Amino acid sequence: MNASSLPLLTRRTVPLLLTALLAACSGSGGNGDDGGSSSNTPRQGTLLNGSSCSLKYYAQAAASQGSGNDPLFPSQWYLQNTGSLTGYSGMRAAEDLDVTQVWNSLGARGEGIRVAVVDDGLEVTHDDLAPNVVEGASYNYISDGSWKRGSPWPMPCDAGQSHGTNVAGVIGARDSNGIGVRGVAPRTSLVGYNALQSGNSADALDAMVRDQDKNHIYNNSWGASDDGLFNAPTDGATHAKTIRNGLDNGRNKLGSIFTFAAGNGGEYGDYSVLDGNASVLGALPVCATDASGKRAVYSEPGPNLLVCAPSSGSGQKTASNLPSVSTTGLQNAYSDEFSGTSAATPMISGVVALMLQANPNLSWRDVRLILAKTARQVNSSSAGWTSYEGYHFNHEYGFGVADAAAAVAQARTWQSVGGSQTMKQCGPYNVTANTGIPEVNPVTDSQLANPFQNPASLNQPVTDGITSSVSPSTCTLNHIEHIDVTVTATNAAGTGDHPNPGDLQMTLTSPSGQTSTLTVPHQCYYVTNSTRTPVNACSGLKNFTFGLSRHMEEPVVATSGSSTWTLGVADRRAGNTGRLGNWSITFYGR
Kindly list the catalytic residues.
119, 163, 342
DSSP 3-state assignment of 9? Answer: strand
One-letter amino acid identity for 128?
D
Q: What is the DSSP string of 347-395?
A: HHHHHHHHHHHH-TT--HHHHHHHHHHH-B--STT-TT-EEETTEEEBT
* Strands 257-261 vs 217-220: parallel, antiparallel or unpaired: parallel
- Name every residue whose Cβ is closer than 8 Å to that of residue 236 and which is 6 or more positions away in sequence: none
Question: Is there a contact between 485 and 546 (Cβ–Cβ < 8 Å)?
Answer: yes
Distance CA(434)–CA(578), nearest Å, equals 10
Distance CA(146)–CA(380), nearest Å, equals 55
- Name every residue whose Cβ is closer than 8 Å to that of residue 354 and which is 6 or more positions away in sequence: 99, 102, 108, 109, 110, 184, 185, 404, 407, 408
Counting beta carbons within 10 angstroms of the beta carbon of residue 2, is it exposed (0 to 12), middle (13 to 18) or buried (19 or more)?
Answer: exposed
Question: Is there a contact between 364 and 271 (Cβ–Cβ < 8 Å)?
Answer: no
Q: DSSP letter at 253? A: H
One-letter amino acid identity for 579?
R
Distance CA(390)–CA(406), nearest Å, equals 15
Distance CA(421)–CA(179), nearest Å, equals 45
- Name every residue whose Cβ is closer than 8 Å to that of residue 470 and which is 6 or more positions away in sequence: 429, 431, 564, 565, 585
- Name every residue whose Cβ is closer than 8 Å to that of residue 196 and which is 6 or more positions away in sequence: 6, 8, 10, 118, 119, 120, 164, 204, 222
Distance CA(149)–CA(146), nearest Å, equals 9
Region of 499 please: left (phi>0), alpha (psi -120 to 50) or beta: alpha
Q: What string of H, E and C letters represents the secondary structure of 427-458? A: EEEEEEEEEECCECCCCCHHHHHCCCCCHHHH
Backbone angles phi, psi at 222, to 5 degrees: -155, 170
Distance CA(31)–CA(378), nearest Å, equals 44
Q: How far apart are the first and last CA of the chain?
A: 40
Instruction: Characterize 529-557 residue by residue with b for buried, 16 or more Cβ atoms within 10 angstroms of its Cβ, and e for exposed.
Output: eeebeebeebbbbbebbbbbbbbbbbbbb
- Angle (CA) 185-118-111 rounded to 5° is 25
DSSP 3-state assignment of 19? Answer: coil
